[in-house]
Amino acid sequence: MLASYSSAIIWSAVALATVGLLFRPFRLPEYVWAVVAAALLPLTGVMQVGTVLGAVAEGGDVYLFLVGMMVLAELARREGLFDWLALYAVRHAGSSGRRLFDLVFLVGTLVTVFLSNDATAVVLTPAVYAACRAARANPLPYLFVCAFIANAASFVLPISNPANLVVYGRHMPPLQQWLAQFALPSLAAIGATYLVLRWVHRREIAQPLAPAPEHRPLSAGGRLSAYGVLFTGSALLVTSALNGPLGLVTFCAGSAGVVAVALRQRQSPLPLLRNVSWGVLPLVAGLFVLVEGVAQTGVIQMAASALESLARTSPHQAGWLAGSVAALLSNLANNLPVGLAAGSLGQMADLPAQTRAALLIGVDLGPNLSVTGSLATLLWLVALRREGEHVSGLDFLRIGVLVMPPALLGALLLL
């Protein structure tokens, strides 16, 4: 009877968080719903406070990674680095919308690979909007690039998506092994995403662009932030190759960049820090608690045992099943909790490397179907709202249903 009561409370909390993430009732931020849902577990006695704190502490490396990336991204935004890059793209596109589309896709891919998909959503999105406004182009085709490439390129490197840290945790493969496993699937996902998006928006990007304004030189603060981005990317590549703590390195590199610019300009960094999307941290913490609650129901253990059993008899089928189910669930409940569950599943079961890799591909790439599927697309929505643009869930789904399946199929085929 007690177990039934606990399970009912846990699944009710999960349902509350899911509704909050998908629909944002009363216009409350997504993190509010995640925190309220997580708080239900200790308040109802279903989970001990110590267990809750332990679940929150599990995300330490992810919090550090997110803080470092968000601070670095906000620094680059404030100093105009990405606006400068976007204007550079407009000028080199000439009057061709197709060329601008290709350049935005290329820049979005590079930012996602070396700075994470959240940086693409938070920083590149407003820069692309500004570039389209300068070129008098319909911004939506180019803004959709920011959303879809943020997930399609998010497993090129371990640092390309915080979800990668969640799925693998302390068992992150060395960089060489990662590239050997994910290089071809990543190329397939990126290539399929590009071809479908270019076909979907072929009419809009065929429209000629207005002449771009004069390209001003990058400011001293912009140059410093660019050096900070390059330093952070290099440090993360080295750390990943050595299988070191990515979160701590990202936090230190991002903090060093902010301090360097603040000292150079003799200004307080507090205004910059106020503009960081701090609500992401309680959102992630709440999801860690909810996944711990779900683990207590035994569902993850049952799934781990079933997948382990299937992997022994048919590893190829287990990979396809793991990737497909993870992709579907990521759209129903957001890929962060699904990634956390996948990480727990990987710890409970002795899975082949290919099956765990398929889980990660489903978690990273699957969210390209729905607008609430990943943290990156939620941040992308926030960036759009700040610019006065609105994209409904149905608008995103109409494109996502064309973009995601071939990308997922290609990635799993080449895994």
Q: What is the pTM of this model?
A: 0.85
pLDDT single digits (tens) 150-165: 999 999 998 888 888 8
Percentage of the chain lying above the pLDDT 70 cut:
98
Residue 318 to residue 48: CA distance in whole angstroms: 35
* Both tokens assigned to 388: 């006065």
Annotated domain spans of the chain: 2-413
Q: Is the pLDDT of residue 278 over 80?
A: yes
CA nearest to 89, candidates 72, 73, 111: 111
Residue 98 to residue 277: CA distance in whole angstroms: 32
Q: Is the pLDDT of residue 214 over 80?
A: no
Give the chain's length. 415
Neighbours of 273 (CB within 10 A): 15
* Confidence tier at 215 by pLDDT (50, 70, 90): low
Q: Is the pLDDT of residue 1 over 60?
A: no
Neighbours of 53 (CB within 10 A): 12
Q: Is the pLDDT of residue 361 over 90?
A: yes
What is the arithmetic mean of pLDDT over 379-402? 85
Taking a C-beta distance cutoff of 8 angstroms, is the pair 251, 64 a contact?
A: yes
pLDDT single digits (tens) 136-145: 888 999 999 9
3-class DSSP state of 16: helix
What is the arithmetic mean of pLDDT over 341-347? 81
**Locus of tokens 């936090």:** 251
* Confidence tier at 188 by pLDDT (50, 70, 90): very high
pLDDT of the residue at 410: 96
- Phi then psi for residue 254, to 5 deg, are -65, -40
Q: Is the pLDDT of residue 313 over 70?
A: yes
- Find which of 45-54, 125-134, 240-249 is predicted with most confidence, using mean pLDDT: 45-54
CA nearest to 112, candidates 376, 359, 358, 409: 376
CA nearest to 76, candidates 229, 189, 199: 229
pLDDT of the residue at 3: 64
